[in-house]
Structure 1
């Protein structure tokens, strides 16, 4: 399994418009996100972009967009990236997107997962994932974590990015 080098950008959605690309008219959108420093990133939203909790995102919402930092990107301003995952901010949950090793520690060393029998482990399509989710790209949804290094959490859901 190849680890995706997930990069992220967080901010407020300032525009959403149709993005014309080939025959997919109406199937792709361009979502413009501006952070507190005034920097803007345009995310290309495709039918393959995963929206955590299938959240509907509107102008004015705070989001974090994740993209492959190793994928080729066109050199324009503002930068434009194909969004792999979009997370709409919520005060009730935290989300971590990244590669988790055989000990379920994220590649940046910031989060360690402690799975419980109540942790839903599913695929992006909502179907159960029946194996141990180690050494994979994961979308982790959790409410709280310890203040240790790495922080530890018992997630409510783990979405396996196959």
Structure 2
């Protein structure tokens, strides 16, 4: 999976209807405005992972992560299925990407240095005890080096199991 992201301010949250009656109210549409004239609509469903399980509201600065290879309707504004949503914070960075065995992101911009304090969990909040290399990860971290790739010791890693 190739993850892309879009950041901006949530301008609208609305119910999003699917064709199935039993799923009424289970999907939301988040309109996110970058502030530079770019708008993206994110379809947020029951499986969308919210970092730190935050409740997002209109006016929040967020970043939505989506599968760049997934089919998307050719409409304006663009509409993507949100896989991960994060409410932005000046003290916390979030990266969603595939990390290889050396714990380097697929785009080569971030390398992870684990510590005993790094919390490694599954999406359901349970501990993950396997090898995190060669997997899609949600990485929550603070400061990073200015090297290429930047290096960081994450606070938390959420393993995305398919």
Give the alignment's TM-score, normalised by structure 1.
Answer: 0.96
Cα displacement (A) at 1:39: 1.1
Distance 2:154 2:98 in 1: 15
5 Å matches for 1:1-162? 4-21=1-18, 22-23=20-21, 24-162=23-161
Cα displacement (A) at 1:36: 2.1
Offset from partner CA, 1:29-61 (integer Å, 9 cap, x none) = 000001121111100000000000001111111
Give the alignment's TM-score, normalised by structure 2.
Answer: 0.96
Cα displacement (A) at 1:132: 1.6
SS state of the match for residue 53, structure 1? Answer: helix
Distance 1:9 1:141 in 2: 17
Q: Which blocks of at least 5 consecutive residues in structure 2 are unaligned? A: none
Distance 1:132 1:153 in 2: 18
CA RMSD of aligned residues (A): 0.6
SS state of the match for residue 52, structure 2? Answer: helix
- Structure 1: 4+ residue segments shifted above 6 A: none
Distance 1:81 1:29 in 2: 12
Cα displacement (A) at 1:91: 1.4
SS state of the match for residue 36, structure 1? Answer: coil
Q: Which blocks of at least 5 consecutive residues in structure 1 are unaligned? A: none
Cα displacement (A) at 1:72: 0.5
